[in-house]
Chains A and B, each alone.
Chain A
Amino acid sequence: MTDSTAPTAIDPTWAWQPYRPDASNPWTLQKAGHLHRRAGFGASMADLDRTFADGPEKAIHGVLNGGAGLAEFDKLMSDMAASLDAGSEEQLRAWWIFRILQTPFPLQERLTLFWHNHFATSNAKVRSTPLMLAQNELIRRHSLGSFRNLLQEMTKDAAMMIWLDTVANRKGQANENYARELMELFCLGIGHYTEQDVREGARAFTGWETRYGKFSIDQGQHDGGSKTFLGKTGPWGGEDIVRICLEQDAAPYFIASKLFRFFISDTLSPSKPLLDPLAKQLRDSDYDLRGVVETILRSNLFFTPHAYRAQIKSPVDFAVGIVRALEGHVGSLPLAEALEGLGQRLFAPPSVKGWDGGPTWINSTTLLLRHNLALAITSTEDNRFGRRTDPAALLHKHDKRADEEIVDFFMKLFLQNDATDDARIGLAQYLAEAHKQSYPPYWSERDKEDHRLRAACHLLLTQAEFQLN
């Protein structure tokens, strides 16, 4: 994607102004694909064509509001959640993957995944799938709502209280874990608090406990004395600590910075002036997430090379993107298991800091596993995934027969024509050479042709460009 308007040094005012297509910087298929990858989990051909035809204004409105049938889908997912085997983390992971695969509101799931990584609670310690599910649903409710409400409720969330030891916080023996991570990881960042603030903050959470999975306070264990926290003195309780954190100048910058890394670039370090408009919007709107996410998605900066394919796909992005693009269906139980092999075990991030992401997603082992997973999904021969995510069937559905049409279709669907000439020529050559391969004698001509198409699709999915988001 070229963008003649992108400045070398990013002008903050220009950066967050809405992108308006013009002759020098038109709305393109690449930008439509970029929107679906960053605000969702990729696109089918119909999604791409519709988004391109709609233009950015209408397309982003659709992304922010989700598609039709959301209420019915939510009801289905609630019913499924009620039918999960108690204690089965595998089923819980599969339930979420099912949701990500099928949702008519991909941005909501993408942000749920983002906040799951932000609050990074692991069932390895919580050991309760109902509590992990409840936290997941809490995040989803607030994923495009108020960060203030999200943080206040997360502080009282049973899974979080177990994860960061709030339940072990007793008067006279304050456990500092939650107070520290609240400031370091959830809303301020290192350098914006002192060890004394950690100790004083921890006192405010003493006596907090869970009863039958619900938050409650044991007043006998609560330290109701005066505390001085981040320069403010009073008989603060836990809610006051969260409120005072969010009053700090650093808080909106911290959240804006995390959103910047997620939506724009996780390699570009944003300057404070670049974050100023987002931080101001968060502060002025009392931490309304929807507004600031909309600003980012509509921005000039979002549609520049600074953001375009500037991230490495997470395992979820990679696998779900393939299935959604191929309009297929796979079992989410085996898919969740495969994602674990690629380094992303949902409901079990590796530490309180979540997944490192970015370049750490790819190494020689995970790259090979990605190729194998792409083969398993597209070959239709892997028993785990069945035959219902079939590139050949998709080509037949779109009536693509000639090799040139097939190359064009796959290049547009998966890469929005970003591939190098060499990649395009290589794919065309493969299709031509594949005719000469030997096949089992009992294969029909249709079997051979479909195998050739699936193999070509797999070849494209192993391209470096497809690993980029």
Chain B
Amino acid sequence: MLVVSSTLELARQLIDELERGPAPSSAVRDPAAEPRTILYHRVQWSGLSRYLGVVQKRLVTQNMLEQGNSPEDAAKEISVFLGLLDHLGRLESENRFAADRYEVDLRFIP
């Protein structure tokens, strides 16, 4: 699990809370603390790679003009980049908005 926070102190508190686990089911639930909105995002790097593959010629040209590379070297650089994107798998995020808190859950999935 990845914890992202704005301060080190907050990160430690969050980790402590996570390690402590969920509250007993008998505890009274505070309706105001329930998430009101939950947003899910999923970035599939292979999809981005496929899209960029469509405009690969343009990327190669851009590389040649920016770097002065030969067509072969430029094509190789772009190919490596697209391969890296394929390899990254996907990124998922879950954003929970409640009245008194905001939670983000980020997951890198190979």
Flag whether B67 is at the interface (Cβ < 8 A): yes
Complex: how many Å from CA A329 to CA B67? 8
B60 touching A83, Cβ below 8 Å: yes
Contact of B69 among A94, A101, A329 (CB under 8 A): A329
Give the contact-size bracket for chain B. Answer: 10 to 19
Bound Cα distance A94, B67 (Å): 11
CB <8 Å contact, A386 and B67: yes
Q: Which of A44-81 contact B (CB under 8 A)?
A: 76, 79-80
Cα distance A329–B62 in the bound complex, in angstroms: 15
Chain B, residues 32-58, CB within 8 Å of chain A (1/0): the string is: 000000000000000000000000011
- Rounded to whole angstroms, the CA-CA distance of A242 and B62 in the bound complex is 40
Q: Is A91 an interface residue (CB 8 A)?
A: yes
A85 near B68: Cβ-Cβ < 8 Å: no
Within 391-449 of A, Cβ neighbours of B (below 8 Å) are at: none
Q: How far is the CA of A101 from the CA of B26 in the complex (A)?
A: 76
Closest Cβ of chain A to B52, distance in Å, is 13
In the complex, what distance in Å separates the CA atom of A84 from the CA atom of B59? 9
List, in ascending order, chain A residues with CB within 8 A of B70's CB: 329
Residues of chain B touching chain A, judged by Cβ–Cβ distance below 8 Å, are 57-58, 60-62, 64-71
A380 to chain B, nearest CB (A): 13
Shortest CB-to-CB span from A57 to chain B, Å, is 33
CA distance A386 to B69 in the complex (A): 11
**Are B68 and A330 closer than 8 Å at their CB atoms?**
yes
A445 to B68, CA, bound (A): 29
Whether, in the assembled complex, A388 has its beta carbon less than 8 Å from a beta carbon of chain B, the answer is yes
List CB contacts (< 8 Å) of A323-339 with chain B: 329-334
Apart from A98-B65, A334-B66, 9 more pairs, CB < 8 Å: A80-B61, A80-B65, A83-B57, A85-B62, A91-B62, A98-B68, A329-B67, A331-B68, A332-B65
Q: Which of B67, B69, B71 has the most CB of A within 10 A?
A: B67
Q: Is the CB of A332 within 8 A of B68?
A: yes
A95 interface residue, CB < 8 Å from B? yes
Find out whether the CB atom of A83 lies under 8 angstroms from the CB atom of B68.
Answer: no
